[in-house]
Amino acid sequence: MVEAHIEVKGLRKEYGNLIAVDGIDFEVRKGQVFSLLGPNGAGKTTTVEILECLRTATAGDVTILGLDLSQSSKIKRRIGVLPQGFNAFDLLTVKENVEYFAGMFEEAVDTDELLSWVKLENRKKDLFKNLSGGMKQRVGIAMSLVNDPEIVFLDEPTTGLDPGARRDVWRMVRNLRERGKTIVLTTHYMEEAETLSDYICIMNKGKIIVRGTPREIIKDHGGSPVAIVRGAGDRGLQALSPNFPDCELAGVDLKIPIPNGRRVSEILNTLDNADVHYDEIVIKKSTLEDVFLKLTGQEFKGGEEDEE
Amino acid sequence: MKSRVLVDFKATVLEFSRSPSAIFWTLAFPVILMLLFGAIYSGGGSGNFNLYVQDMDDSEWSRSFLENLTATGFVNVNMINTSLDAQQVITDNSLTNFLIIPAGFGANLSANESAVLEFRKDDSSQSALALYSIIEAVAQQMDPGLQNVSALISIDEKSLVFDDRFKFLDFFLPGVLALTIMNSTVNYMVFTIVEYRNRGIFRKMMTTPLKRPEWLASRILWQMVLGFISLLLILGIGVYLFDVNVTDDLNGVLMTIALILAGTALFTAMGMAVAGLIKDEQGAGALAGAITFPMMFLAGIFFPLEMMPEYLQTIAKVIPLTYLADGLRDSMIYGNMTGAWFNLMVVSGLAVVFAALGTVLTRWKQE
C-alpha cells in the first residue's frame, strides 16, 4: 500500500459557538490528487489551512509527512501552498515575486525554469498588478513550487477564472501529478473535482458526507442516468408513463430516469411505435452535483465570484 | 544561508521605488515644507513681524539695538521719520506695533542709568506678544548691567548670540524631520499591514519559513534608512539654502541618530497598533490620519508650544511627537544634551509601550 502523506483524525475547529470543522477523518496517499469538495462555508478552507499550519485546530490529530503539526517549520519547508484568493506584491514583477518566495527557503528550484513551466517566460518583467487573473494564478502556482514541495495545497485555484484559464490550471495539476507530487485541492466546482481527482471527500457543514473515487461516489450515490427527450410533450408522456412511471414533463421536455437494467432503445422504440415527434434525445449521466443534491437535499452553490 | 530579512528588505525597497505616492510623502513632502517655510522665513532681515520704529535718540546704543533686533530674523524694522507725531502716524496708517526709542536712551545706558523703551502695541494682535518678548530679549542681551555680570562668568557667553536662537528655521528644521518620520512611518505601517492582510499576502508569507520578527525587522530597517535619507535632504536644504545653524558636535550627532532610530521604532509600533485595531483599509487610513494630523499641529512643529494657550500646551505634553521634535531640536540645534536625553528616554519608553500594544493587536497567525 502506498504511504500516507497526510493523516487526519477527529479534526475539529470551533470559532466560539460556530463549528467550522466537526470531527473529520481522512487520509491522503502519496502521489494522489485529493479533493475536498463542498459549497462555501463547508469547512474546506479551514481544514486545509490547519494542514498548512496557518490555523490551529481545536482538537484532533494531524500528521503531515510523518510530522506532527507542532513541527510547523519543518512542515512548511516540505509543502507548497496556493492560498485561497491568492495575491502577491503588486509592485514587484513576476520574476521578483517568485524570487522573493524562493528566497524564503534555504533551498529553492530555478525560478526561470519554473516560470517557463507555468508559461510566463515572456511576462517575467511585468508587474504583478498588470497581469490577468489567470496569469496571477499561474504566478501563484509557480510560487507554491519554489521549494520543490512533496505536497502541494491548491485552495480554490480556479475560482473566478474564465474557462480557458481554468483549463490551464487543470493541465498544470495533471502535470504535477505525473511528476509524483501529492496534491490537495479544494474546490466548489463539481466538474473540476470529477475530472482531476483520484479521491474526493465531499464536505457539508463541517462534516465529510461522502468519500471515494469520483466513479465510486457517482455509482453509489448518483442514481440512474436520465434521458431527456426534448419537444416530446404530452403525447410522449402518455406513451412512456406505463413503462417508465418516474417519467416527468418539464415544459415540452420529458425527463426519464433510466433504471438499472433498462435500455435507452426501449424509450426510442416506445416513442416510435406511438409515432411521437421529438427534437432530440440527450442522455445525461449522473454527476457529483446530483450526488450532492441527493445527499443533502440542497442545491449546490458555488462562490459568489463564480462567473460561469 | 540566505537571509530572509535581506530578501524582504530588497522587496521593500523595490516596492517603495515604484510607488509615487510613497516617494512623495516621504521625500518630496519634507522638501516642499522646508523650501516653502524657508522662503517665507528667511532672507536677510525680512522678518515676519513688522515693527515701526521712531529713533528719537539716534545714538550708538539705539542704532546697535535696532541692528540686533533686525538680526533676530524675526522682525522687519521700518523706520519712521522723527519729525512726525507718533500718534498721528499710528492713526493715519493703522499701525499695530510701534517702538519709540526716547532721546537720552544711549546716554543713560552709558552712564549706567535706567533707560526706557516705549512699545505701543495692539493687545488684540498676536504679533504684539511675540514682538514684545523679542524686544525684551534683545534689550536684555545688550543691557550693560547684565553684560558685565556675564562677562564675569565666562567669555563664551557673548558668542551665544540671540539672533541664531531666534531664527524660525532653526526651530522648524528638527520639527520637519520629526514630522516626516511620523507621517512616513505611521502611514507606511498602517497601509502596508492592512493591504498585506486584506490581500492575503501575509497568508502567503505564513506558508513559508519567514517569521514575523524577520518581516518586521526588514520593514523597520527600511523606515530607519528613510529617516536618514529625510535627515540628509532636510539638512541639505536647511543648511545650504537657508543657513540653519546645526550643531556638528559629535554628541549631538550621535544623539540625533539615536532619536531618529527611537522615533522610527515608536511610530512603527504605533502604525502596527492602528492597523491591528482597524481591519479595513479606509477605516485604518482614517484613524492614521486622525492620529497624525492633530499631532502635526499640536506638537509644536510649526510654531513654538509657548505660543499656544495653556490647555493646548497640556495636550502637547501627552503627544509623542512633541518629545521627538523637542529631542531633535535639543540635539541638532540647541546642543542641550540633558534635554535630549530626557526626550530620548520618553520616546524609547513610548516605543516599548506601543510595540507591546502593536504585537498584541496584530497577531500574524489567524485564530
Which domain CATH number covers B129?
A: 3.40.1710.10
| Residue B109 structural domain | 49-159
Q: Nearest chain B residue to A146 by CA: give it.
A: B208
Q: Integer distance in angstroms from the first to the last C-alpha of chain A?
A: 40
> What pLDDT shows up at residue A62?
95
Q: Nearest chain B residue to A84 by CA: give it.
A: B200
Q: For residue A155, what are the β-bridge partners?
A: A186
The minimum CA-CA distance between B266 and chain A, rounded to whole Å, is: 26
Based on the domain organization, do B351 and B202 belong to the same domain? Answer: yes
CB contact under 8 A, B207 and A100: no
Mutate to test the interface with A, among B13, B188, B204 (most CBs of A within 10 A): B204
**Phi, psi of A8, deg, nearest 5:** -125, 125
Nearest to B8 by CA among B186, B217, B204, B249: B217
Q: Nearest chain B residue to A88 by CA: give it.
A: B201
A79 to chain B, any CB pair closer than 8 A? The answer is yes
Q: Is B362 helix (H, G, I), strand (E, B) or coil?
A: coil
Crossing angle between the packed helical segments B168-198 and B212-235, to the nearest 10 degrees = 150
Q: Nearest chain A residue to B364 by CA: give it.
A: A54
Q: Nearest chain A residue to B18 by CA: give it.
A: A91
Q: Which of B1, B205, B367 sits opposite A55 (nearest CB)?
A: B367
ipTM for the predicted complex: 0.82
A52 to chain B, any CB pair closer than 8 A? The answer is yes
Q: From residue B321, how far is each of A181, B259, B298 by CA, in Å?
A: 54, 12, 9
Whether residue B128 lies inside any domain: the answer is: yes
With a pLDDT cut of 90, the percent of chain A lying above it is 59
Between A119-133, A239-253, B186-200, the lowest mean confidence (pLDDT) is in A239-253
Whether residue B154 lies inside any domain: the answer is: yes
Contact B62, B101 (CB under 8 A): yes
**Phi, psi of A20, deg, nearest 5:** -85, -40
Contact B312, B224 (CB under 8 A): no
The minimum CA-CA distance between B18 and chain A, rounded to whole Å, is: 6
Whether residue B239 lies inside any domain: the answer is: yes
Strands of the sheet with A67-68, listed across from one edge = A18-29, A4-15, A59-64, A67-68
Last residue of a domain, one of B111, B138, B159: B159
If you average pLDDT over residues A91-99, what whole number do you get?
A: 96
Q: Which of B7, B15, B199 sits opposite A87 (nearest CB)?
A: B199
Whether residue B43 lies inside any domain: the answer is: no
Residue A158 carries which DSSP code?
T
Q: How far apart are CA B227 and CA B178, in angstroms?
A: 9
If you average pLDDT over residues B86-90, what whole number do you get?
A: 77
pTM of the predicted model as reported, rounded to 2 decimal places: 0.75
CB contact under 8 A, A89 and B15: yes
Q: Which amino acid is residue B126, in one-letter code? A: Q
Confidence of residue A299 (pLDDT cuts 50, 70, 90): low
SS3 content of chain A, % helix, strand, coil (to 5): 35, 25, 40
Confidence of residue B364 (pLDDT cuts 50, 70, 90): low
> What pLDDT shows up at residue B125?
55
Contact A55, A195 (CB under 8 A): no
Q: How far apart are CA A209 and CA A38, in angstroms?
A: 10
CB contact under 8 A, B208 and A127: no
Residues of B in contact with A305 (CB under 8 A): none
Based on the domain organization, do B132 and B195 belong to the same domain? Answer: no
> What pLDDT shows up at residue B149?
46
Residue A127 carries which DSSP code?
B
Number of structural domains chain B divides into? 2
Nearest to B323 by CA among B293, B299, B292, B357: B299
Based on the domain organization, do B155 and B245 belong to the same domain? Answer: no
Whether residue B306 lies inside any domain: the answer is: yes
Q: Which of B200, B203, B208 sits opposite A104 (nearest CB)?
A: B208
Q: For residue A208, what are the β-bridge partners?
A: A203
* pLDDT tens digits for range B11-59: 999 999 999 888 888 888 888 888 888 877 754 434 467 788 888 888 8
Q: Nearest chain B residue to A100 by CA: give it.
A: B7
Q: Which of B7, B10, B14 sits opposite A104 (nearest CB)?
A: B7
Based on the domain organization, do B146 and B174 belong to the same domain? Answer: no
Based on the domain organization, do B284 and B246 belong to the same domain? Answer: yes
Q: For residue A6, what are the β-bridge partners?
A: A28, A64
Residues of B in contact with A88 (CB under 8 A): 201, 204
**Phi, psi of B163, deg, nearest 5:** -65, -30
> What pLDDT shows up at residue B157?
25
CB contact under 8 A, B201 and A89: yes
> What pLDDT shows up at residue B156?
26
Q: What is the radius of gyration, based on Cα positions, of chain B?
A: 25
The minimum CA-CA distance between B5 and chain A, rounded to whole Å, is: 9
CB contact under 8 A, B210 and A127: no
A92 to chain B, any CB pair closer than 8 A? The answer is yes
Q: How far apart are CA B102 and CA B138, in angstroms?
A: 17
Last residue of a domain, one of B120, B142, B159: B159
Residues of B in contact with A91 (CB under 8 A): 14-15, 18-19
Q: How far apart are CA B14 and CA B8, in angstroms?
A: 10
Q: Exposure string (b/e) for B89-110, b if CB count within 10 Å is 16 or more?
A: ebeeeebbbbbbbeeebbebbe
Instruction: Count interface pairs A-B at CB distance under 8 A.
Output: 73
Based on the domain organization, do B213 and B317 belong to the same domain? Answer: yes
Residue B240 carries which DSSP code?
I
Grid cell locating A262: 433498462
CB contact under 8 A, A101 and B204: yes
Q: Integer distance in angstroms from the first to the last C-alpha of chain B?
A: 32
Q: How far apart are CA B322 and CA B347, in angstroms?
A: 9
Last residue of a domain, one of B159, B188, B221: B159
Q: How far apart are CA A14 and CA A20, in angstroms?
A: 6
Based on the domain organization, do B337 and B205 belong to the same domain? Answer: yes
Based on the domain organization, do B190 and B323 belong to the same domain? Answer: yes
Based on the domain organization, do B319 and B194 belong to the same domain? Answer: yes
> What pLDDT shows up at residue B25?
82
> What pLDDT shows up at residue A304?
41
Q: Nearest chain A residue to B19 by CA: give it.
A: A91
**Phi, psi of A58, deg, nearest 5:** -75, -40
Mutate to test the interface with B, among A14, A64, A91, A129 (most CBs of B within 10 A): A91
Whether residue B59 lies inside any domain: the answer is: yes
Q: Which of B15, B199, B209 sits opposite A92 (nearest CB)?
A: B15
Neighbours of A216 (CB within 10 A): 14
CB contact under 8 A, B210 and A104: yes
CB contact under 8 A, B204 and A84: no
* pLDDT tens digits for range A51-61: 999 999 999 99
Based on the domain organization, do B107 and B246 belong to the same domain? Answer: no
The mean of the pLDDT values for chain A is 89
* pLDDT tens digits for range A156-210: 999 889 999 999 999 999 999 999 999 999 998 888 998 999 999 999 999 999 9
Q: How far apart are CA A19 and CA A41, in angstroms?
A: 11
Based on the domain organization, do B129 and B220 belong to the same domain? Answer: no
Listing DSSP states for A211-244 in one string gives EE-HHHHHHHHS---EEEEET-HHHHHHHHTTT-
CB contact under 8 A, B200 and A54: no
Whether residue B308 lies inside any domain: the answer is: yes
Nearest to B110 by CA among B60, B56, B151, B68: B60
Q: How far apart are CA A192 and CA A220, in angstroms?
A: 20
Whether residue B38 lies inside any domain: the answer is: no
B7 to chain A, any CB pair closer than 8 A? The answer is yes
Q: Which of A54, A84, A87 sits opposite B201 (nearest CB)?
A: A87
> What pLDDT shows up at residue B158?
25
CB contact under 8 A, A104 and B209: yes
Based on the domain organization, do B261 and B309 belong to the same domain? Answer: yes
Q: Which helix (H) or strand (E) holds A13?
A: strand A4-15
Grid cell locating B301: 512643529
SS3 content of chain B, % helix, strand, coil (to 5): 70, 5, 25
The minimum CA-CA distance between A64 and chain B, rounded to whole Å, is: 14
> What pLDDT shows up at residue A154?
96
Residues of A in contact with B1 (CB under 8 A): 106
Long-range pairs for A223-226: beta carbons < 8 A, 24 or more residues apart: A223/A257, A223/A286, A223/A290, A223/A294, A224/A257, A224/A258, A224/A259, A224/A260, A224/A286, A225/A257, A225/A258, A225/A283, A225/A284, A225/A285, A225/A286, A226/A255, A226/A256, A226/A257, A226/A258, A226/A283, A226/A284, A226/A286
Q: How far apart are CA A278 and CA A258, in angstroms?
A: 18
Q: How far apart are CA A266 and CA B238, in angstroms?
A: 96
Q: How far apart are CA A232 and CA B55, in angstroms?
A: 116
